[in-house]
Amino acid sequence: MYKDLNEAQKMAVEHRGNLLIIAGPGTGKTHTLTHKIAHTLLRNKNFHCSDSDSNILRPSSGTSEKYHFENETQSKSVFLKIPSAISHSDISNTRIFEPSILALTFTKKASDEMKQRLISLLADCQHTNKRYSDCRNTDERYAHAQHADVQIIDVQNTDVQHAYDRHTDVYNLSIDHQIFIGTFHSWCLEMLKKFSRDFVLYGEKEKMIVLQKIASSTFPNWTKTHINDVARLISLHKNQLLPIEKIAEKIPLPDFLKTTEYITIAHLYEKKMSAFRALDFDDLLVKTLELFTHPSPEIDAYRKNMRYVFIDEYQDVNTVQYELIRLLMHSNVAKTTVTDEVAISNKSFSTDTFQSTSKTICAIGDPDQSIYAFRGSNIDYFFRFSEDFPHATTLRLEENYRSSSFIIKASESLIAYNSKRIHRSLRPQFEDSTLVSVISANDGWKEAYGVTKKIQKLVGGLDMIESGHAHYHVPSETFRFSDIAVLYRTKAQGRLIEASIKKAGIPCQMVPESAWYLKKEIQTLLHYLRLLVYPHDDSSLSKILQTASARQKKNTSLFLTQIQALMDEMIHFTPTECAQKIWNDFGFESYYCRKKNGGNVHAKIRAKTLNNEKIVSDEKIQNNFLLFLSTSAQFDSMKGKEGLLKLLEHYTFLQNEDTFDSSVEAVHLMTLHASKGLEFPVVFITGLEDGLLPYSTKSENSARFSKKDDFIKNQLEEERRLFYVGITRAKRKLYLLHALVRDEKETTPSPFLKEIREELLERKTLRKPLKNIVSSQNFHTSKWNDHDQSCSDQKTKKDQLELFS
């Protein structure tokens, strides 16, 4: 088991007592943390047997069960149980055994990965004799623990190692400890379900509905964007544990919102929510914290039982999470200073009959990757870890197993400009002299086109013309689509890149992405069709009326007559004919595609960068409708209601499916924020321009660099960390792009680019004039060529292809 750990990682795993691990990018953070959890689990088996009389297992349907998910929809939590440790009569007992180990993460993805890895790690220890003996040599306790009673039940009774390699989740892992692994939110949900009164959980959607309702009566002029801003602020003040009245002191409000207005709406929101007995996601944390500030005997018992707390991504904790951890740990050493507004009952400490030393916390993270200040994360908690938790040790993981040396050096030289950090330096394990490319493009479109061409090249060409060309086929290694990620600061940038990549036919996955059939125009069309089948479906009618044109709204009765007429006729029509009729007769064209565009889309895009999105989206809507027809024609053997019913059933089913199919390979497009925690062999970071990265809104001036203002300095450092996160996603190749003109305005390159040591960079410009680029984009329509084409055209193509070599 120790075989896979380096010295620093091993030290971290074996350390006893409170521990802060500073784990830079690619240093094996999750690897180390899961090993430490496994180590803790195994080492402390006997310790726990002593008070097991009061601890009875949660009922289980038997050993063939997989993980026991507490709640299907909230499957973030998992309890690992030990059927072997109890008799069958115990199973009927419903008393709950509380976890003594808690491992908290920030995302479901992270906690799922941790569970997965933990299970496979324990399976390894148990089953591969070779590794098993390694363990024994390294640590006698392991052997003992293993012989004792950790067992993994092989459900399918197949060859363990083999099956394990494929699917670890066929095993029911049983350990005679209980551990809770999950996100902060899932843990809090568990806590509230156990220890609090009934409540309804409101998701983001429901939260927005409540706010919309309130706004419609108090601030009728607000748009959805305004309400989004308010929703964000409410979340922010809750996570920072600020009373509503104090918000303006801490958080700058958007221009449209006066402090008093915010206070009004926030109070109304709270009133509504408590009237519904509803909690939003942020409330989960706040209410759980209240459980700990006024502890009941059950909470005290829960806290007493807790032995080990592991926190992933500690640099991302916000105030409420920090307080939760502190109270759970019972740390009576630390005094709250950051949030003196919060009245935390100190009485709870005095009733403590438990020595705080019997609890251990291990936090892991990297302050250089803290990028969620806008959500309320506070990096300061990381820096004060050793003050908060007694006798805490700090360890650093510095060996980077991810990126090639030049990428690491580039990231190091950049992040050195930040002042708020704990010093550490990364040591790359892969020596490679591939330089980091800095590419400047004329404008945003050309930048996107440059990325597209480069991707085509990285995968070794997409058609005969590219691949078959001796000049073109330079790359000595080819990558998969899914090896490549394009990162950007704002979602709007992503759309232009997506348009370009999709135009080239390259499979890509924008995160998050909504499937084409979830697009508004298709959904509305489906509402119409539903109304034809179910004339009394008021919800469909109201959805339709929302999108109806002003003319239609004015004359609702005419509109309804029109629908009625179609209902009468529809027996003669196939489903796609119905759809076509609705599309034509009910003004979809004019509603969704305000500007009809004939002619050359690319030329238009070039001509008016500002109008890019409109033109691109108009075409998309048309195309989506055609796609709807081409995928719905399968029901055309039935006319009238029968066919429509089948069609509607099909789409209802589709909408409930998980759209993301991870086995399909595609280029990843995402914001820098979304890239955190991921890694890719090839990374493009686009839009490296002052104002985009570092990002600044219009109201902020560009003289940020000379500013002494702390707030602005913090923001700048946060943006630098964001760039740092982006760079350190790359394993092999890194391309940094910027456009000289964006949205018809000249730009200056990001000041961050100057902070990377010049000798690590290779600077390029996309050198051909724009004219050629556009014509080459269109060459498949203007010129043609055969699969096995004649050679006459190859020369021009060669030029085009080499543009971006």
Partner 1 sequence: MIFTADFHIHSHYSRATSKFMDANNLYKWGQLKGIRIIGTGDFTHPKWFSELREKLEPAESGLFRLKKAYAKEIEHEIPESCRSDFRFMLTVEISNIYSKNGRVRKVHNVICAPSFEIASKINSELSKIGNLQADGRPILGLDSKRLFQITLDASTDCMFIPAHIWTPYFAVFGSKSGFDSLEECFEDLTPFITALETGLSSDPPMNRTLSALDDFTLVSNSDAHSPQKLGREVNRFDTELSYFSIRDAVKNGDPKHFLETVEFFPEEGKYHYDGHSTCEVRFSPEETKKHNGLCPKCGHPLTIGVLNRVASLADRSEPGKKSIPYRYLIPLPEILSDIYSKGVSSKYVNGLYFSMLEKLGNEFSILLDIPLETIEKASSSYVARAIQKVREGKVRIAPGYDGEFGTIEVFTEKEKSDLQTQKTLFSFF
Q: Which residues bind partner 1 (CB under 8 A)?
A: 459-465, 467-471, 473, 478-482, 502-508, 515-517, 623, 626-627, 629-637, 650, 654, 657, 659, 661, 663-666, 779-781, 783-791, 794
Beta carbon of residue 481, minimum distance to partner 1 (angstroms, whole number): 5
DSSP 8-state secondary structure symbol assigned to residue 253:
P
Beta carbon of residue 737, minimum distance to partner 1 (angstroms, whole number): 22
d(CA 349, CA 415): 40
What is the CB neighbour count within 10 angstroms for residue 53?
7
8 Å CB contact between 125 and 43: no
Query: Amino acid identity of 734?
Result: L
- Angle at the Cα of 665 (from 662 to 666), degrees rounded to 5? 105
| CB of 63 or CB of 634, closer to partner 1 | 634
In the structure, how many helices (H) and strands (E) does the chain have? 38, 22
| CB of 198 or CB of 788, closer to partner 1 | 788
8 Å CB contact between 451 and 771: no
- Structure-token pair, residue 267: 């109070």
Beta carbon of residue 468, minimum distance to partner 1 (angstroms, whole number): 4
Q: Where are the beta strands (DSSP E) in 263-412?
A: 278-279, 308-311, 360-365, 393-397, 399-404
8 Å CB contact between 392 and 708: no
| CB of 377 or CB of 456, closer to partner 1 | 456
What are 427's strand-pairing partners?
A: 399
**End-to-end CA distance of the chain, in Å?**
46
Beta carbon of residue 458, minimum distance to partner 1 (angstroms, whole number): 10
Beta carbon of residue 152, minimum distance to partner 1 (angstroms, whole number): 28
Q: Could you tell me whether strands 179-183 and 745-746 are parallel, antiparallel, or unpaired per DSSP bridges?
A: unpaired
> In angstroms, what CA-CA distances link 226 with 220, 283, 493, 697, 771?
11, 22, 22, 16, 41
| CB of 148 or CB of 474, closer to partner 1 | 474
| CB of 466 or CB of 718, closer to partner 1 | 466
8 Å CB contact between 692 and 490: yes
Beta carbon of residue 504, minimum distance to partner 1 (angstroms, whole number): 7
Beta carbon of residue 660, minimum distance to partner 1 (angstroms, whole number): 10
Beta carbon of residue 285, minimum distance to partner 1 (angstroms, whole number): 36
CA 401 to mean position of chain CA atoms: 23
- Structure-token pair, residue 68: 């026991």
- Structure-token pair, residue 368: 């250089």
- Structure-token pair, residue 127: 């089953």
Give 503's contacts (C-beta < 8 A, 6+ positions apart): 452, 777
Beta carbon of residue 505, minimum distance to partner 1 (angstroms, whole number): 4
Burial of 413 (C-beta count, 10 Å sphere; 0-12/13-18/19+): middle
3-state class of 788 per DSSP? coil
| CB of 418 or CB of 794, closer to partner 1 | 794
| CB of 218 or CB of 634, closer to partner 1 | 634
> In angstroms, what CA-CA distances link 649 with 45, 533, 632, 694?
52, 12, 11, 47
Query: Amino acid identity of 704?
Result: R
Beta carbon of residue 137, minimum distance to partner 1 (angstroms, whole number): 32
Give 709's contacts (C-beta < 8 A, 6+ positions apart): none
| CB of 196 or CB of 600, closer to partner 1 | 600
- The stretches of 196-243 forming alpha helices (DSSP H) are 204-218, 224-239
| CB of 720 or CB of 797, closer to partner 1 | 797
| CB of 91 or CB of 462, closer to partner 1 | 462
| CB of 275 or CB of 791, closer to partner 1 | 791
| CB of 17 or CB of 507, closer to partner 1 | 507
| CB of 49 or CB of 629, closer to partner 1 | 629
d(CA 315, CA 737): 29
Beta carbon of residue 471, minimum distance to partner 1 (angstroms, whole number): 7
Beta carbon of residue 24, minimum distance to partner 1 (angstroms, whole number): 28
Query: Amino acid identity of 159?
Result: D
Beta carbon of residue 524, minimum distance to partner 1 (angstroms, whole number): 18
